[in-house]
Structure 1
Amino acid sequence: MADASIVNGKPADEDRQPAGPVTFVGAGQMGAPMVQRLLGAGVEVTLHARRPEVRESFAALGARTTSSLADAVRGATVVVSCLFNEQQVEEVLLGTDGLVTLLEPGSVLVSHTTIGLKLLARLDEATTARGATLLDAPVSGAPDDILAGRLTILLGGEPAAAARATPALSTYGLVLPTGGMGTASSVKLVNNLLFTVNVQTAAAAAELGRQLGIATDALFEALLHCSSATRAIATMTDVGSLDRYTELGAKYLRKDVAAALATAAEEGADPGVLAYVAHHGPMPLTS
């Protein structure tokens, strides 16, 4: 349950908090548009990036850039991490000379990566040991959603830390508090599994439509105006074809499904029909 200090989806004292400065780590497919939105909103950003071309690109947009994690984190009060998977979290955040070992006491670390609850607990423990505070902040949406400022940001953790980070996060999306540490990741893992199921059932519906002589684009256009309309159908329609959607999204869905099922197993939870459909649908969306 959200803390009482949260009003209309935002911390009650959000307006009194500055939207920066922010140190950002992980300017990849999702992180890059986040940094663009932060800079576009006038937020002071220090960006850590290993590739020179990434540093040059964002320096031209007004970011302070560096290839050194230590330099990026030095003096930082809010650090945002947007890494691709658990392996990167292990290496970049929890490694021997990783970001967490460099955090300033009193700082806030926002982690946008979808990870299992056990790894999240380790990250929280390591962050706390540094005297800093972790915010569990997985996201739902695509790069276009970020650029439009309509990304969904699930946020779990201490309300005081959430209040400090929310003004910056709000530059690229809607912040939805979910409760304490781990609640945001749990919501995201359920969402990811359910979305994969929706993709699989939409693909199955397309196959049934073909057998009945209905073109997939015509079927999906009609379904978007019917009771079976889903975000999955809308997304697949925007991409243009099922094959193209698989090409663009399969690796992300495979990662998300694997994380959801692993977490369910660790917690003794039964994903039931969700797991079955994710595995046995017509699209290759599981490992």
Structure 2
Amino acid sequence: MTTDRDGEIVVSPNHVVFDLPEIVAVQEGLFEAVGLRVRFADAADRSADAERNPAARHKESQFTAARADVYNVCEWGGIDRLERDTRGGRIGHLRAAVVAQALVSLDDDLNEPHDLADVTVSINEYTGSHYTALHLLEGTVPRERITLAHTGPPGTRLDLLLAGESRATMLMEPFLSVALTHGAHVLGTYAYRGSQVVAPHLTAAQQEAYRTAVDKAVDLVNADRARWAPTIAAEAGDRLDPADLRPDYYRYTHIAPFTERRFTETYAWMRSWRLTDGRSGYETLRALR
């Protein structure tokens, strides 16, 4: 199994709204400026992203097979993937993307989280849509009355919502903006960062250079957000005019460390929902800086 491609670092792609800083860093030569060769792995076939087993999905399977060296996923998912993965790896940092998952509906009888007791909410299991739905609902709906259904990636969830086959779903950009242009309304939002999973062979120096380039890309994006909006909107195809992409449901900030306090709080919450068996610790999953 090859893990070092003559120093090249391969990124397993996530959705564009999460990957935009890395996309910009590649396009603008920011990785090269810090001495790294970075490229994205091929994302042509994303059909496995509908699988219930997250290890079978595109970005995770690319990493496990050593065809990619880094990828970002939601904070809770980063812990879950590393506990499932056979290759090994660490959480390097909290990613630069701060994105909202919004609970949306076209049903006039659903107007706030209180209305979702015993109502099925469409999510993709073990992704941000799953974890944020639990966080969003558990403050108002008794846990035993929260009902989630795995229906697949955001494009599929959007289609089910617009077809009237789903009463409520979790969506992030650009699929959220598409839903809103079709008359959907927001019942609640949950803004969250994610974690960057890194391969075990990447050195502390490589990771620091990677973070430096991504932070510079964040500054470029924030200096002219309208310039990059079409890149995000393009994932929705011809269903969304870039001018209709809502700027208030995503933003970018410099990379932050995954602290022990944050890990402890996150891990305790995951155990409370039986989303982990609790066998890992902070030093097990955190990458050296």
TM-score, normalisation: structure 2: 0.29
TM-score, normalisation: structure 1: 0.30
Higher RCO (CA 8 Å, separation ≥ 6 residues): 2
Higher-Rg structure is 1
Q: Which structure carries more strand by proportion?
A: 2
